[in-house]
Amino acid sequence: DIQMTQSPSSLSASVGDRVTITCQASQDISVYLNWYQQRPGKAPKLLLYEASTLEIGVPSRFSGSGSGTDFAFTIESLQPEDSATYYCQHYDTPGFIFGPGTKVEIK
């Protein structure tokens, strides 16, 4: 079974900072990797799919890269509303595999 890991598990950064989260798959998943944002008490929101494609309506300060087993998610110029937990996710028959999440806090 494929396992997903994320690092760091949490981070604290200032408004305007560049933030990067990494996600690693236990085996090659090509570009089948999605990123979600979940604010406290809210449902997850799709930000990027297929590693680097921005979902419609998502600000361009969010970006993703990678293929195979190693992926990165970047927030350029962190904003107060970006305080949330971010999850990577792979789809593999028979279902979804989520990473453990990275909590992003604003200093």
Contacts with other proteins by CB under 8 A lie at 32, 34, 36, 38, 43-46, 49-50, 55, 85, 87, 89, 91, 93-101
- The nearest distance, CB 16 to other proteins, in angstroms, is 28
- The nearest distance, CB 34 to other proteins, in angstroms, is 4
Nearer of residues 19 and 51 to other proteins, judged by Cβ: 51
Nearer of residues 11 and 17 to other proteins, judged by Cβ: 11
Which SS3 state, helix, strand or coil, does residue 41 take?
Answer: coil
- The nearest distance, CB 48 to other proteins, in angstroms, is 9
- The nearest distance, CB 3 to other proteins, in angstroms, is 13
Q: Are 52 and 16 in contact (CB under 8 A)?
A: no
Helix (H), strand (E), coil (C) string for 55-75: CCCCCCCEEEEEECCEEEEEE
Query: Per the structure block, which two tokens stand in for 22?
Result: 């990494």
Nearer of residues 18 and 39 to other proteins, judged by Cβ: 39
Which of 69, 95, 63 minimizes the C-alpha distance to 4? 69
User: How far is it, in rounded angstroms, from Cα 19 to Cα 16?
Assistant: 9
